[in-house]
């Protein structure tokens, strides 16, 4: 003779998807406190920046980093770029031949 517990009948209509929904809602509820705290902090003057301007260097369609900064002269022809490496003022670091002034100031970058 088997006997069902009272808890088994309470969960009879509770499916896996329902369990996932409840779990996700609980997780969402826990993360909402951080979101509201961050929104409140963002409205305060505490996090106001002091910068008056920004310099953005956008290289859309520019050369690849393999052609400018990360030259691989020993790599196969299919991988390496067409530009030649030049020495910088940091021993062992080489950059593209078209950046001679940056090569002179590489220790400041």
Residue 45 in domain: no
Report field, pTM of the whole predicted structure over 0.85: no
Residue 23 in domain: no
Residue 87 in domain: yes
Residue 2 in domain: no
Q: How far apart are CA 37 and CA 85, in angstroms?
A: 50
Residue 9 in domain: no
| Residue-level pLDDT at 86 | 92
Please report the DSSP string for 44-77 in residue order: SGGG----S-------TT---HHHHTS--TTS-T
Q: Residue 91: give the domain boundaries.
A: 65-108
Residue 25 in domain: no
**What digits encode the pLDDT tens for the residues 58-80?**
878 877 877 888 888 888 888 88
The answer to whether 67 and 84 have CB atoms below 8 angstroms apart is no
Residue 84 in domain: yes
| Residue-level pLDDT at 7 | 55
Provide the number of structural domains found in the chain: 1
């Amino acid at each position: 003779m088997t006997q069902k517990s009272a808890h088994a009948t309470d969960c009879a209509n509770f499916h896996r998807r329902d369990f996932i929904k409840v779990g996700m809602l609980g997780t969402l509820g826990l993360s909402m406190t951080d979101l509201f705290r961050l929104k409140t902090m963002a409205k305060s003057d505490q996090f106001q920046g002091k910068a008056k301007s920004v310099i953005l260097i956008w290289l859309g369609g520019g050369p690849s980093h393999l052609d400018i900064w990360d030259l691989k002269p020993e790599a196969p022809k299919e991988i390496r770029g067409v530009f030649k490496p030049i020495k910088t003022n940091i021993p062992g670091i080489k950059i593209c031949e078209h950046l001679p002034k940056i090569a002179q100031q590489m220790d400041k970058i």
